[in-house]
């Protein structure tokens, strides 16, 4: 498998510290508000990556943190704690806010068929681990105390800017929001490992430490949780492109300084979902959620399908028109699969293996999900029986998670009910599983039966204008799209 590595700025053959096993870490949400669909694009693509690795035969241990303390409104260690901001907004405790939005996040993941990671750990559960790592960094001379806080000293590193091929906007994401100068820092890039009195006003969560009562910085959380559950060698670290700097840069600095050896070899960054007005952001006061998509009548899996049609390293522009197109294409895909007969022959294992090999090559080239979507249509065109086509689609959907076979089965079941009702009425409509078209074709048949030929012709012309071809058969009609 070839995968682009943000740390080396090129596609590389994916390798792991322990052959056949992947230690994978995903930066989780800061649970002070709902996740917007831009956040969820990253989790969709990371989910596809994990499932492709498992599909390819790897054993995967995927770990995710839940940030419920320490993430300030600017990633440059300034501003208000986001969790406290959420608690004030809703007049609840920080822990109530954390639990509510953690549950909401995983509910969104369920709707999008995003698998829950093997380990999900709130940051507040590993305070002792952070203290141990910070103490080690102080002992090794990589950290210092100033103004009551503990800082990481970036001047001790030979190389700090690891992801320096990202454009200036990407690198500046974390420090855009009204950065204030921290006079305690020796160097402008130094970052807080532990906050005490200088950021202590109104802080709801605080713990005893060797440096005074306080709370951990945001960056130390991911290092501590990953070391706890992935071990000292991490194979694959994932996140949005806006995490590359300063968050992931700082993770590397503190982790490798503490461990004394290289920490994570492969870095996987998903680029932004944009609107026509720019990058989607909660700070703008308005953002799109999965619940909003549902309220507007969209299937959340149509949004997943929309994301899969683009490459994870390209910015993706969201608009309602684009989502309409994705929903329409997704519905048509389900209809085509529903038209396959599961009882049509036995699975041809040789053909199945051939298509799986091609899929492995396509998706294995830097997680090319647009080619994976194309592979679905190729399977439908395969010169083989229905049972084999469905087996191919089922295999691919173990990675893509679009619920293709389940939704197709539901369409077949609904069609069977409609046909049974129509048969009782003496007129059967057969098509591609679109209830609206079925109803129009049936109305045309009823008009003909009533000798209302003008109405029958009108409906026929309307359907023809929509690209629908009708063939009358004994006892009913068959329709298909041109």
Q: Is residue 419 part of a domain?
A: no
Q: Is residue 289 part of a domain?
A: no
CATH of residue 310? 1.20.120.1910
Q: Which pair of structure tokens corresponds to residue 97?
A: 């806010």
Regarding whether 342 and 401 lie in a shared domain, the answer is yes
* pLDDT on residue 86: 74
Regarding whether 305 and 273 lie in a shared domain, the answer is no
Q: Is residue 144 part of a domain?
A: yes
What is the rounded distance in angstroms from the CA atom of residue 420 to the CA atom of residue 416?
6
Q: Which of 221, 253, 282 is the last residue of a domain?
A: 282
Residue 97 structural domain: 2-282
Mean of all residue pLDDT scores within the chain: 89
Q: Is residue 445 part of a domain?
A: yes
Q: Which of 254, 282, 310 is the last residue of a domain?
A: 282
Q: How many domains is the chain built from?
A: 3
* pLDDT on residue 173: 39
What is the rounded distance in angstroms from the CA atom of residue 88 to the CA atom of residue 201?
14
Structural contact between residues 119 and 63, judged by C-beta atoms closer than 8 angstroms: yes
Q: Which pair of structure tokens corresponds to residue 78?
A: 């300034």
CATH of residue 190? 3.40.50.620
DSSP annotation of 145 reads E
Regarding whether 99 and 233 lie in a shared domain, the answer is yes
What is the rounded distance in angstroms from the CA atom of residue 442 to the CA atom of residue 175?
61
Regarding whether 465 and 382 lie in a shared domain, the answer is no
pLDDT tens track, the chain, 482 positions: 999 999 999 999 999 999 999 999 999 998 988 999 999 999 999 999 999 999 999 999 999 999 987 555 455 555 566 767 777 777 778 788 889 999 999 999 999 999 999 999 999 999 999 999 999 999 999 999 998 899 999 999 999 988 875 454 444 433 434 345 678 899 989 999 998 865 555 667 889 999 999 999 989 999 999 999 999 999 999 999 999 999 999 999 999 999 999 999 999 999 999 887 666 665 555 579 999 999 999 999 999 999 999 999 999 999 999 999 999 999 999 999 999 999 999 999 999 999 999 999 999 999 999 999 999 999 999 999 999 999 999 999 999 999 999 999 999 998 888 777 766 666 778 787 788 888 898 899 889 888 999 999 999 999 999 889 888 887 788 888 87
Regarding whether 41 and 178 lie in a shared domain, the answer is yes
What residue has token string 């020796």?
186
Nearest to 157 by CA among 265, 254, 266: 254
Give the containing element (helix H, strand E) for 23: strand 21-26
Q: Is residue 145 part of a domain?
A: yes
Q: Which of 405, 434, 455 is the last residue of a domain?
A: 405
* pLDDT on residue 199: 57
Regarding whether 275 and 308 lie in a shared domain, the answer is no
Regarding whether 438 and 377 lie in a shared domain, the answer is no
How long is the chain? 482
Regarding whether 123 and 23 lie in a shared domain, the answer is yes
* pLDDT on residue 175: 41
What residue has token string 């699969």?
337
CA–CA–CA angle 9, 268, 371 (5° rounding): 95
Q: Is residue 329 part of a domain?
A: yes
Question: DSSP E strands: which ranges in 147-253?
Answer: 149-152, 191-195, 215-216, 234-240
What is the rounded distance in angstroms from the CA atom of residue 143 to the CA atom of residue 135?
9
Regarding whether 377 and 459 lie in a shared domain, the answer is no
> Residue 477 CB: number of other CB atoms within 10 A?
19
Regarding whether 215 and 121 lie in a shared domain, the answer is yes
Regarding whether 255 and 310 lie in a shared domain, the answer is no
* pLDDT on residue 149: 93
Regarding whether 304 and 278 lie in a shared domain, the answer is no
Q: Is residue 288 part of a domain?
A: no
Q: Is residue 410 part of a domain?
A: no
Q: According to DSSP H, which parts of 33-93 are helical?
A: 37-55, 82-90
């Amino acid at each position: 498998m070839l995968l682009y590595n943000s740390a080396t700025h090129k596609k590389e053959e994916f390798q792991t510290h322990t052959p056949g096993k992947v230690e994978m870490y995903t930066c989780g949400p800061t649970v002070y508000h709902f996740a917007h669909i831009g956040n969820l694009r990253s989790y969709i693509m990371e989910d596809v990556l994990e499932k492709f690795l498992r599909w390819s035969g790897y054993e995967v241990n995927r770990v995710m943190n839940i940030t419920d303390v320490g993430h300030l409104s600017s990633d440059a260690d300034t501003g208000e704690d986001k969790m406290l901001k959420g608690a004030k907004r809703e007049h609840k405790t920080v822990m109530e806010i954390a639990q509510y939005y953690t549950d909401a996040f995983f509910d969104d993941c369920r709707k999008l068929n995003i698998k829950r990671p093997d380990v999900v750990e709130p940051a507040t559960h590993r305070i002792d681990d952070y203290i141990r790592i910070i103490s080690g960094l102080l002992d090794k001379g990589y950290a210092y105390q100033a103004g009551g806080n503990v800082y990481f000293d970036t001047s001790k590193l030979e190389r700090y800017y690891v992801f320096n091929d990202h454009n200036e906007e990407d690198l500046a994401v974390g420090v855009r929001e009204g950065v204030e100068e921290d006079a305690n820092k020796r160097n402008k890039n130094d970052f807080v490992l532990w906050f005490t009195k200088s950021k202590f006003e109104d802080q709801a969560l605080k713990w005893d430490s060797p440096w005074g009562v306080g709370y951990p910085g945001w960056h130390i959380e991911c290092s501590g949780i990953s070391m706890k559950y992935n071990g000292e060698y991490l194979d694959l670290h994932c996140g949005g492109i806006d995490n590359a700097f300063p968050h992931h840069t700082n993770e590397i600095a503190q982790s490798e300084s503490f461990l004394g050896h290289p920490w994570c070899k492969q870095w996987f960054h998903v680029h932004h979902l944009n609107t026509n007005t720019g990058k989607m952001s909660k700070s703008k006061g308005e953002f799109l959620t999965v619940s909003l998509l549902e309220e507007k009548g969209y299937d959340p899996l149509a949004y997943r399908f929309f994301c899969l049609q683009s490459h994870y390293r390209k910015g993706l522009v969201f608009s309602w028109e684009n989502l309409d197109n994705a929903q329409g294409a997704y519905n048509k895909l389900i209809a085509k699969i529903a038209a396959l007969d599961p009882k049509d022959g036995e699975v041809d294992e040789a053909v199945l293996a051939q298509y799986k090999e091609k899929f492995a090559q396509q998706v294995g080239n830097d997680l090319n999900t647009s080619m994976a979507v194309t592979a679905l249509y190729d399977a439908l065109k395969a010169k083989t029986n229905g049972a084999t086509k469905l087996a191919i689609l089922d295999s691919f959907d173990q990675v893509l998670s679009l619920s293709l076979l389940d939704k197709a089965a539901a369409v077949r079941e609904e069609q069977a009910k409609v046909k049974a009702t129509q048969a009782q009425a003496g007129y059967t409509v057969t098509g591609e599983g679109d209830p609206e078209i079925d109803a129009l074709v049936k109305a045309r048949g009823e008009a003909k039966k009533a000798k209302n030929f003008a109405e029958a012709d009108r409906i026929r012309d309307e359907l023809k204008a929509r690209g629908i071809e009708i063939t009358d058969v004994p006892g009913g009609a068959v329709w298909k799209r041109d």
